[in-house]
């Protein structure tokens, strides 16, 4: 007796009931595929933004700078950074480095004597090196990059609008220097950048590193070195520990991975675990429909169960029959739901989801951009399919065994 053929026949014979059960699994599959893909996209976006603009995968700083960061201690810089770069770039897991000076400043609107000022955040970078660290091909939307030794700058588009300047415009920045005094420099806009974090775009401008060193009285010094690593080779935590042991300087250094620098980045690991639990709950809720419909089937098909039992079908075979019916429905439902989820995710993975722009604007410290791009991966496709089969399979096991315990005599009473 080929039980799987009987199971397929029963599914086709009860189309409405089968469609209800399959739809529940499909909706759950679609929801979890998109949920996991959205979370993966958010995690990737957060990691990319943190590594590029804020913390690096690993960050090297003067150990006292973090302690007094709120006081803007520009004098706590890292000297002789070129020799440190040679050691850092020799590490097999390191893919790119970025020596930088970040400096807060104020730009008077209407001239130096104006009472109206705009808060800005400058970044001194080596543009030749930075071209392999930042994706200027995507972010530089107008103009060109500044040349070394000049007072040229690239400015966030939102900041340029706030300052009321365009290409070729000039703005003067007042800032505290490394000598604990103050200084002012006038820069010329030669390029516009569009950053993934709108809050950062409203304050950031970038200038040549050597110009920032002159402006801030930090000759041959940088405030920090950001490092990107290949996680397939080694983790940021391991790289930070390794570099922390071999880097030496005239000043004490902190070599931290990005999760040590930004506490919110570490929270994403907890968020991933929570979403895993939510995914299982989604399938459990969907599987209750399978359980209910299977139990209904048992009572509706008492005559059939009694007839099959009288014809010699054993309790084990009855369990297999009902289990296979539910399993086939789950497979089809999961495949349909996952296929729809993949299609929707692929679409938004290209165009992005910008409905969160306003909500994410105040979350720049977490590195979350205004537009999120869901990302499909093994977890959001293959594992979702496996989860759906396991959860629904376990959910239908009990009602299937319930059918096996019905004796032919008890079932035939319903004839």
Express each pLDDT in 197-219 by its tens digit: 888 889 999 999 999 999 999 99
Residue 303 shares a structural domain with residue 351: yes
CA 17/CA 74 separation, integer angstroms: 70
Is pLDDT of 360 > 60?
Answer: no
Query: Which of 41-45, 84-88, 306-310, 339-343 is least confident?
Result: 306-310
When pLDDT is averaged across residues 84-100 and rounded to a whole number, the result is: 95
Residue 319 shares a structural domain with residue 359: yes
Residue 147 shares a structural domain with residue 206: yes
The pLDDT > 90 percentage for the chain reads: 39
Q: How many CA atoms lie within 13 A of 303 on its CB side?
A: 3
Q: Return all residues near 330 (Cβ < 8 A) that are at least 6 apart.
A: 21, 22, 25, 290, 388, 389, 392, 393, 396
The pLDDT > 70 percentage for the chain reads: 81
Where a domain ends, among 238, 261, 284?
261
When pLDDT is averaged across residues 318-335 and rounded to a whole number, the result is: 80
Residue 24 shares a structural domain with residue 77: no
The pLDDT-based confidence of 32 (bands split at 50, 70, 90) is confident
The pLDDT-based confidence of 291 (bands split at 50, 70, 90) is low
Is pLDDT of 35 > 70?
Answer: yes
The CA-atom distances, in angstroms, between 203 and each of 28, 103, 156, 209, 317 are: 42, 11, 7, 18, 70
The pLDDT-based confidence of 327 (bands split at 50, 70, 90) is confident
DSSP string, 110-131: TSTT-S-EEEEEEEEE-HHHHT
Query: What per-residue confidence (pLDDT) applies to 415?
Result: 53
When pLDDT is averaged across residues 292-315 and rounded to a whole number, the result is: 68
Residue 136 shares a structural domain with residue 246: yes
Is pLDDT of 397 > 90?
Answer: no
193 forms beta bridges with 140, 156
Residue 174 shares a structural domain with residue 287: no
Q: Return all residues near 129 (Cβ < 8 A) that are at least 6 apart.
A: 97, 98, 99
Is pLDDT of 410 > 70?
Answer: no
When pLDDT is averaged across residues 335-359 and rounded to a whole number, the result is: 81
Range of the domain at 311: 3-49+265-412
Residue 40 shares a structural domain with residue 88: no
The pLDDT-based confidence of 91 (bands split at 50, 70, 90) is very high
Average confidence score pLDDT of the chain: 83
What single-letter DSSP state applies at residue 363?
Answer: G
When pLDDT is averaged across residues 25-41 and rounded to a whole number, the result is: 83
Residue 100 shares a structural domain with residue 234: yes
Residue 161 shares a structural domain with residue 111: yes
Higher pLDDT, 393 or 120: 120
Where a domain ends, among 197, 226, 261?
261
Domain count of the fold of the chain = 2
Where a domain ends, among 230, 261, 292?
261
Phi, psi for residue 87 in degrees, rounded to 5: -70, -45
The pLDDT-based confidence of 412 (bands split at 50, 70, 90) is low
CA 331/CA 351 separation, integer angstroms: 30
307 forms beta bridges with none
Specify burial of residue 172 (Cβ count, 10 A radius: 0-12, 13-18, 19+).
Answer: middle
Quick check: 23 and 340 in contact, CB under 8 A?
no
Residue 248 shares a structural domain with residue 276: no
Is pLDDT of 387 > 70?
Answer: yes
Tokens 């991933």, located at residue: 272
Phi, psi for residue 241 in degrees, rounded to 5: -65, -40
The pLDDT-based confidence of 359 (bands split at 50, 70, 90) is low
Query: Which of 141-155, 259-273, 324-338 is least confident?
Result: 259-273
Residue 256 shares a structural domain with residue 116: yes
Is pLDDT of 151 > 80?
Answer: yes
Is residue 26 helix, strand or coil? helix
Looking at the chain, the number of H-run helices and the number of E-run strands are: 16, 12
Task: Quick: pLDDT tens for 237-283.
Answer: 999 999 999 998 889 999 999 988 877 666 777 777 777 777 677 76
């Amino acid at each position: 007796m080929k039980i799987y053929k009987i199971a397929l026949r029963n599914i086709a014979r009860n189309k409405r009931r089968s469609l209800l059960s399959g739809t529940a699994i499909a909706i759950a599959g679609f929801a979890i595929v998109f949920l996991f893909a959205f979370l993966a996209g958010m995690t990737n976006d957060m990691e990319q933004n943190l590594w590029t603009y804020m913390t690096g995968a690993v960050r090297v700083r003067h150990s006292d700078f973090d302690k007094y960061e709120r006081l803007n201690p520009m004098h706590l810089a890292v000297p002789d950074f070129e020799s440190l770069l040679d050691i850092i770039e020799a590490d097999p897991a390191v893919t790119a480095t970025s020596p930088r000076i970040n400096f807060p400043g104020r730009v008077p609107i209407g001239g130096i004597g104006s009472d109206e000022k705009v808060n800005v955040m400058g970044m001194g970078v080596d543009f030749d090196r930075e071209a392999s660290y930042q994706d200027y091909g995507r972010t530089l939307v107008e103009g060109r990059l500044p040349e070394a030794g000049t007072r040229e700058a690239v400015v966030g588009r939102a900041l340029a609008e706030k300052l009321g300047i365009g290409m070729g415009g000039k703005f003067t920045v007042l800032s505290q220097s490394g000598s604990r005094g103050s200084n002012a420099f006038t820069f010329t806009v030669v390029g516009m950048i569009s950053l993934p974090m709108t809050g950062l775009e409203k304050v950031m401008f970038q200038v040549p590193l050597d110009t920032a060193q002159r402006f801030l009285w930090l000759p041959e010094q940088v405030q920090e070195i950001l490092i990107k690593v290949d996680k397939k080779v080694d983790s940021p935590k391991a790289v930070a520990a390794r570099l922390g042991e071999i880097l030496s300087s005239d000043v004490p250094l902190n070599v931290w991975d990005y999760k040590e620098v930004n506490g919110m980045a570490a929270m994403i690991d907890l968020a991933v675990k929570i979403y895993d639990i939510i995914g299982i709950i989604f399938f459990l809720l969907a599987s209750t429909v399978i359980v209910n419909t299977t139990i209904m089937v048992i009572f509706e098909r008492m005559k059939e169960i009694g007839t099959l039992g009288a014809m010699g079908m054993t309790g084990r075979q009855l369990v297999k029959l009902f289990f296979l019916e539910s399993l086939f429905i789950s497979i089809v439902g999961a495949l349909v739901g996952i296929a729809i989820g993949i299609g929707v995710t692929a679409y938004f993975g290209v165009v992005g989801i910008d409905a969160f722009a306003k909500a994410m604007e105040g979350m720049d410290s977490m590195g979350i951009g205004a537009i999120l791009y869901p990302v499909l991966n093994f977890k959001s496709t293959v594992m979702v399919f496996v989860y759906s089969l396991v959860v629904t399979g376990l959910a239908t096991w009990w009602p299937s065994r319930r059918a096996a315990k019905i004796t032919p005599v008890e079932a035939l009473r319903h004839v």
